[in-house]
Amino acid sequence: MNVILEYYIDKVMKMSVPLYQYIKEQLIEIIQDQAANTPVQSERNLAMEFRASRMTVRRAINELVDEGYLYRDANKGTFVSDQSLLKRNTLVNSDTYSYKTLYFDVKINTENPMRKKLNARADEAVIHLFRTIKEDELPIGVEEIYIKRSELSDADFANVSKTKKVMDLLGTGTSHYTFTPELVPAKYASLLALRIGTPIIVTECLINTIQGRPLAYLRTYNNPENRVIEITS
């Protein structure tokens, strides 16, 4: 009741978070200290407790299931998932990384092969960015970035060299990663503090708008000693 009161205060004060969103947050709060496989209340009970319809509660629960917090067992109930491996992706998760831009430019009429990947005409402006990635002073990787100028707002363009995740500049869309094993290039070995001949993983990422227009191309040389690439799904 306290719970639902809180929500309606928000609502009245025009914060106006959707109810299902509010219920999600409350459920996360409730389960976050619970052991895996703990049952959550039934949908009908939660609906009463939050003074919401069952469909609204279901929406909240469904999204938590999709996000890996809960799982359903038909005819039995809904339970807390094992969260020891919560969905994560070290390629995108950059909260603790620091970046140093070593090169920044906007080029027109260059012969760079990346233009083809971006499907950019010869006279289109393309942003070039080269930066190092560190975590606690340890070199994590070096990154070459190419972004189509025409896809960025002026505000985003002004921030581009400060941006951590290029994804954040762009709305929803698709990203396509490829992973290639290489020996560390001589020109990057010292930046990565790796010996010549060390095998590394190079990740390439092409980011498209949901409409199918290429937006950005990233090429990252990852230091295998300091950055373990991992993906949980």
Partner DNA sequence: TAGTGGTCTAGACCACGAC
Partner DNA sequence: TCGTGGTCTAGACCACTAG
* Interface residues toward DNA, by CB under 7 A: 18-21, 40, 42-45, 51-56, 58-59, 72-78
Non-local (6+) Cβ contacts of 159 within 8 A are 169
Closest CB to a copy of itself among residues 85, 108: 85
Across the strands, what pairs with 216? 147, 207
Q: Give the one entry of a copy of itself, DNA, none that residue 42 binds, where binding means its C-beta sits below a cut-off of 5 to 8 angstroms depending on kind.
A: DNA
Among 10, 25, 105, 182, binds a copy of itself (CB under 8 A): 182
CB atoms closer than 10 angstroms to residue 128: 16
Among 177, 185, 189, 191, binds a copy of itself (CB under 8 A): 177
Q: Shortest distance, CB of residue 206 to DNA, whole angstroms? A: 26
Among 2, 84, 96, 153, binds a copy of itself (CB under 8 A): 84
- Select the span of 46-54, 95-103, 110-118, 194-202 touching a copy of itself (CB under 8 A): 194-202
SS3 state of residue 1: coil
* H or E, element range at 14: none
**Pair 107, 101: CB distance under 8 Å:** no
Using the 8-state DSSP alphabet, how is residue 161 labeled?
G
Taking CB atoms within 8 Å and a gap of at least 24, the contacts of 16-22 are 19/50, 19/52, 19/56, 20/52, 20/56, 20/57, 20/59, 20/60, 20/63, 21/60
Closest CB to DNA among residues 19, 167: 19
Among 21, 32, 37, 190, binds a copy of itself (CB under 8 A): 37
Residue 200 is a binding residue for a copy of itself (CB under 8 A): yes
Rounded-to-integer distance, Cα 201 and Cα 72, Å: 37
* H or E, element range at 209: strand 199-209
Closest CB to DNA among residues 35, 74: 74
Size of the site for a copy of itself (CB under 8 A): 38
Residue 113 is a binding residue for a copy of itself (CB under 8 A): no
Closest CB to a copy of itself among residues 86, 106: 86
Short-list 172, 174, 117, CA closest to 147: 117
Q: Shortest distance, CB of residue 104 to a copy of itself, whole angstroms? A: 28
